[in-house]
Amino acid sequence: MGFTVTGVKAVEILDSRSRPTLAVTVTLGDGTVARAGVPSGASTGSQEAVELRDGDPKRFGGSGVLGAVGNVNGEIAEALRGRTFTDLDELDHTLIDLDGTDNKSRLGANAVVGVSMAAARGLAIAAGLPLWQTLNPTDVTPRLPVPHFNVVNGGVHAPNDLDFQEFMVAPLGAPTMAEAVRAGAEVYAALRSLLMGKGLATGLGDEGGFAPQIGQPEEVLGLLVQAIESAGYQPGRDGVAIALDPAASEFYRDGAYQVAGETLSSDDMITRYEELVAAFPVWSLEDGLAEGDWDGNVRLTERLADRIQLVGDDNLVTNPAIIAKAIALGADTAALIKVNQIGTVTETLEAMAVCRAAGWAQMVSHRSGETEDTFIADLAVGSGCGQLKSGAPARGERVAKYNRLVEIETAESLPFGLAG
């Protein structure tokens, strides 16, 4: 079989934060045309594949991506055009070899990942299959993931005093994807009413969640429980549970956590989380400690893994080798999965396979800077991982993913919910 690439083209477009990113179109020998939009993060891990930015202060304050666009239209297009590949794996490894660095810093991970995603979509279109089906490993049951709606934004995603970055509601008890999306939207509406009633702002952060002027995480968690109840749901795993992503690397300074007006050690921080988990229906905690705090993350996992899921994002960066290291250390029990952190679809699937083999959970994720591309919805379904986060149930680039999941559910009868 195989497929032939006849064209590769990139354009500089805007992401949801009004910063430049790439749209990449790949054309195949059978006439298939497939496009992908490249996401971009703000609270990035230091080991992520490198996003190439122009640094020209005269354009977009230095954040232009014409260099990365040029790499796609020049070097990458020349290397791929007219070539026949057996599968996506071979194409992705051609890109990895062409770049030649171990972090895609030469051609840019934003250039490489756009080509990889567009090619993956092209293969699905050419085969007449939904994208999720071509991303489904033979030994994995596809499944609709529990959506994690980020309803309150803080950290570097909002201009408020809230140090924790993400407060998510996860309808673990919903019977279907459509009902889960409804629960998310109803809780979001209830939360808006609560905030308005308290005279708090209902403006939105980068991921579409509210960004009220609140400093203490306990206060936000209290409001979330109230919103879940007033929307008619049961707070907790049988109904709507809460997931946190403090993104602690962002408030880790000089060996301590500067959070909510306090300076805390790793162990103080872990105790704070134990208290939060005892008082509120939190089921999952991502990046509770900083990316370099491996000892702290091992202790956090020892102390909390019997009660909640511990997700690594900034420390693991969707890198199969780093995930394998964390598994061996006993740091975290799950990995956040972002295609642009590692830079190709093939390596992303590899990272997820490493997790599965160790009994680790995975949560597929958007970035805070997004496009309308719904690739991650299909990735979550095909990988059968059972969890996805794509921001609030508001703003086009966020709801595009949730809407795609509802459409997949309508077209196919697939199980919904956590894996395993």
From the list 166, 207, 286, 347, the catalytic residue is: 207
Instruction: For the beta carbon of residue 238, count every other beta carbon within 10 angstroms.
Output: 11
Query: Which residues, other chains included, contact 206 with Cβ-Cβ below 8 Å and sequence gap of 6+?
Result: 16, 17, 42, 153, 157, 158, 368, 369
Considering only residues 16, 21, 27, 43, which one is a binding residue for ligand PGA as defined by CB under 6 A? 43
Q: Choosing among ligand PGA, Zn ion, none, which partner's interface includes residue 397 (Cβ < 5 to 8 Å by kind)?
A: none
- Tell me: does residue 163 bind ligand PGA (CB under 6 A): no
User: Could you give the string, one character per residue 306-325, with x where binding to ligand PGA holds by CB under 6 A and - elsewhere?
Assistant: -------x------------
- Tell me: does residue 313 bind Zn ion (CB under 5 A): yes
Instruction: For the beta carbon of residue 1, count every other beta carbon within 10 angstroms.
Output: 6
**Between residue 207 and residue 266, which ones bind ligand PGA under the rule CB under 6 A?**
245, 247
- Tell me: does residue 332 bind ligand PGA (CB under 6 A): no
- In angstroms, the CA 100 to CA 366 distance is 27
Identify the H or E element spanning 12: strand 3-14
Listed in order, strand segments (DSSP E) in 127-240 are 146-153, 166-170
- In angstroms, the CA 10 to CA 12 distance is 7
Whether residue 283 contacts residue 309, with contact meaning beta carbons closer than 8 Å, is answered with yes
Size of the site for Zn ion (CB under 5 A): 3
**Between residue 240 and residue 279, which ones bind Zn ion under the rule CB under 5 A?**
245
In whole angstroms, how close is the CB of 388 to ligand PGA at the nearest point? 12
Which DSSP string corresponds to 123-147? HHHHHT--HHHHT--TTS---BPEE
Beta strands 282-286 and 309-312 are parallel
In whole angstroms, how close is the CB of 390 to ligand PGA at the nearest point? 11
From the list 338, 350, 397, 401, the catalytic residue is: 338
Beta bridge partners of 37: 23
User: Could you give the string, one character per residue 194-233, with x where binding to Zn ion holds by CB under 5 A and - elsewhere?
Assistant: ----------------------------------------
Closest-approach residue to ligand PGA (CB): 41
In whole angstroms, how close is the CB of 154 to ligand PGA at the nearest point? 11
195 vs 285 by CB, closer to Zn ion:
285
Beta strands 387-389 and 334-337 are unpaired
Site stretch for ligand PGA (CB under 6 A), options 219-227, 263-271, 315-323, 365-373: 365-373
- Tell me: does residue 368 bind ligand PGA (CB under 6 A): yes
In whole angstroms, how close is the CB of 277 to Zn ion at the nearest point? 18
92 vs 313 by CB, closer to ligand PGA:
313
Which DSSP string corresponds to 228-281? HHHTT--BSTTSBEEEEE--GGGGEETTEEEETTEEE-HHHHHHHHHHHHHHS-
Question: In the numeric block, which tokens belong to residue 340?
Answer: 């642009």
338 included as an active-site residue: yes
- Tell me: does residue 332 bind Zn ion (CB under 5 A): no
Q: Choosing among Zn ion, ligand PGA, none, which partner's interface includes residue 41 (Cβ < 5 to 8 Å by kind)?
A: ligand PGA
Q: Choosing among ligand PGA, Zn ion, none, which partner's interface includes residue 368 (Cβ < 5 to 8 Å by kind)?
A: ligand PGA
Among 43, 70, 39, 38, residue whose Cα is nearest residue 54: 70
Q: Choosing among ligand PGA, Zn ion, none, which partner's interface includes residue 367 (Cβ < 5 to 8 Å by kind)?
A: ligand PGA
DSSP letter at 316?
A: T
- In angstroms, the CA 50 to CA 225 distance is 39
Considering only residues 44, 63, 362, 371, which one is a binding residue for ligand PGA as defined by CB under 6 A? 44
Identity of the residue numbered 140: V
90 included as an active-site residue: no
- Tell me: does residue 367 bind ligand PGA (CB under 6 A): yes
Q: What are phi and psi of 260, to 5 degrees?
A: 45, 45
Q: What are phi and psi of 284, to 5 degrees?
A: -145, 140
- In angstroms, the CA 84 to CA 96 distance is 17
In whole angstroms, how close is the CB of 200 to Zn ion at the nearest point? 24
Which residues are part of the catalytic machinery? 207, 338
Residues of this chain that interact with ligand PGA (CB under 6 A) are 41-44, 245, 247, 313, 336, 365, 367-368
